[in-house]
């Protein structure tokens, strides 16, 4: 309140505040749309697979937290290089930024292939380790195996999208991520079901009828197509980052050290976060397929609340990173505060909507009444965490833009571990009552 009164006394500061908030919003909206498109893809997958029954939903839900871990590690590698790029662009050192881009492609491709090999290796044993019911282990294993084979594409898509965003281009990644959702719908429809009906056109198209495996294949194909388009956009379409002659692909110790300093704490953060979620899945798994399905769908539904926060965090990383590169630490602090404020406002509003629309959302995600009832109860409790969760997400994005990943990488996992254990206890009580 004091800050608002202060701004009202100084019209110039109020105008400056409005301009800066407008810039945060302008960069946040495309990033939010990109995150929402990713969330929409999860909703689509869940609804399509959910139509096959609770057992199909449970087979994906059993390994979903493990797929998030692989994806989170890819995000860590992408951030290690994109933050450097944002700071170099802010300092008007575009040639060096392009060299970082070249080195990042080499590292990202090797890392994505390593994750793929690891995923393939553990895919058969993972459902057993997680305590899944024998009836869903085969489908869960196949889903994870196919998804793991898409890791090189996931890594290159995330890296290229992050590079475009840190150069100030939020529009292209948003469009391509939205396209990925559309491709996922088409591929899933053709691969999951025996027949794909299009009521508006009055036609029916024969499908592959692969069930759960079809969902994995559809997502993997969408990832590979989008990755090719995203890499092309940054290498040939970006005014600042498109590759020119004379650059070097040689890995440089300074660049690798900076990338590791940013990426390793983030990788630790994602590992602890997903480790807690995997542990909660392991605890919920013995409660049966209904519990696994409800747990998985509740997390998917909740993403509607927090995905916009991650979009705002992406904008904060870009603005703070470029401000730091330009030597404007005061401006970086203002952008960080504005991003946190915007995230709290947006995520609180989304939480209110989710609380009242929870029954409708679950009716779209699954036809199973038991899963719907349990999922709604869990989701309505989870949304109370969203306002403070918004603070942690946006603040972490701002600190990453400044190159500080240690604090968010230690604070966020602790809070989410506690949250995960609380959700698990709530879920267990819901089942037995």
Structure tokens at 378: 């869990």
What is the structure's pLDDT at 114?
Answer: 97
Structure tokens at 301: 């539904």
Per-residue pLDDT of the chain (433 residues; tens, 9 = 90+): 434 444 444 555 556 667 777 767 766 666 666 666 666 666 666 677 777 777 887 888 788 878 878 888 888 888 889 888 888 888 888 899 999 999 999 999 999 999 999 999 999 999 998 888 888 899 999 999 999 999 999 999 989 998 998 888 878 988 898 888 889 888 988 898 887 776 666 677 888 888 889 989 998 999 999 999 999 999 999 988 998 877 788 999 999 998 888 788 777 776 776 666 666 666 666 767 777 777 777 777 777 777 788 778 877 877 888 788 778 888 888 888 888 888 899 899 988 988 998 888 888 777 778 888 888 888 888 888 888 888 888 888 888 777 776 666 666 555 555 454 444 443 444 433 3
Q: State the pTM of this model.
A: 0.74
Backbone angles phi, psi at 428, to 5 degrees: -65, -45
What is the structure's pLDDT at 395?
Answer: 87
What is the structure's pLDDT at 38?
Answer: 60
Judge residue 99's burial from the number of C-beta atoms within 10 Å of its C-beta, 0-12 exposed, 13-18 middle, 19 or more buried. Answer: buried
Domains of the chain, by residue range, sit at: 2-432
Q: How many CA atoms lie within 13 A of 372 on its CB side?
A: 17
Percent of the chain that is helix, strand, coil (3-state, to 5): 85, 0, 15
Structure tokens at 382: 């989870």
Question: How far apart, in whole angstroms, are the C-alpha atoms of residue 218 and residue 211?
Answer: 11
């Amino acid at each position: 309140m004091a800050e608002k009164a202060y701004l009202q006394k100084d019209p110039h500061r109020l105008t400056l505040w409005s301009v800066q908030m407008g810039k945060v919003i302008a960069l946040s909206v495309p990033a939010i749309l990109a995150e929402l498109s990713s969330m929409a893809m999860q909703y689509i997958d869940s609804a399509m697979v959910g139509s096959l029954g609770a057992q199909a939903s449970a087979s994906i839900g059993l390994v979903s937290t493990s797929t998030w871990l692989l994806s989170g590690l890819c995000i860590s590698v992408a951030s290690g290089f994109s933050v450097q790029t944002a700071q170099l662009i802010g300092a008007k050192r575009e040639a060096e930024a392009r060299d970082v881009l070249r080195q990042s492609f080499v590292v990202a491709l090797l890392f994505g292939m390593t994750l793929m090999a690891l995923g393939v290796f553990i895919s058969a044993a993972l459902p057993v380790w997680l305590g899944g019911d024998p009836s869903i282990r085969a489908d869960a294993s196949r889903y994870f195996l196919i998804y793991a084979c898409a890791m090189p594409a996931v890594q290159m898509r995330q890296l290229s999208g992050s590079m475009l965003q840190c150069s100030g281009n939020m529009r292209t990644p948003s469009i391509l991520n939205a396209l990925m959702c559309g491709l996922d719908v088409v591929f899933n429809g053709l691969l999951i079901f025996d027949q794909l009906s299009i009521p508006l056109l009055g036609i029916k198209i024969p499908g592959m009828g692969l069930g759960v495996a079809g969902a994995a294949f559809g997502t993997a194909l969408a990832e590979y197509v989008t990755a090719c388009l995203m890499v092309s956009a940054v290498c040939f379409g970006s005014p600042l980052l498109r590759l020119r002659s004379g650059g070097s692909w040689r890995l440089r110790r300074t660049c690798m050290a900076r990338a590791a300093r940013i990426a390793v704490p983030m990788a630790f953060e994602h590992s602890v976060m997903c480790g807690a979620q995997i542990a909660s899945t392991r605890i919920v798994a013995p409660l049966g397929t209904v519990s696994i399905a409800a747990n998985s769908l509740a997390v998917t539904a909740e993403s509607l609340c927090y995905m916009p926060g991650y979009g705002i965090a992406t904008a904060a990383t870009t603005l703070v990173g470029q401000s730091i590169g330009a030597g404007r630490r005061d401006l970086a602090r203002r952008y960080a505060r504005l991003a946190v404020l915007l995230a709290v406002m947006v995520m609180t509003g989304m939480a209110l909507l989710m609380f009242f629309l929870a029954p409708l959302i679950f009716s779209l995600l699954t036809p199973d009444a038991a899963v719907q009832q349990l999922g709604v109860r869990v989701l309505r409790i989870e949304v109370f965490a969203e306002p403070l969760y918004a603070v942690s997400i946006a603040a972490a994005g701002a600190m990453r833009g400044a190159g500080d990943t240690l604090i968010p990488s230690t604070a966020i996992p602790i809070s989410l571990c506690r949250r995960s254990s609380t959700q698990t206890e709530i879920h267990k009580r819901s089942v037995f009552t």
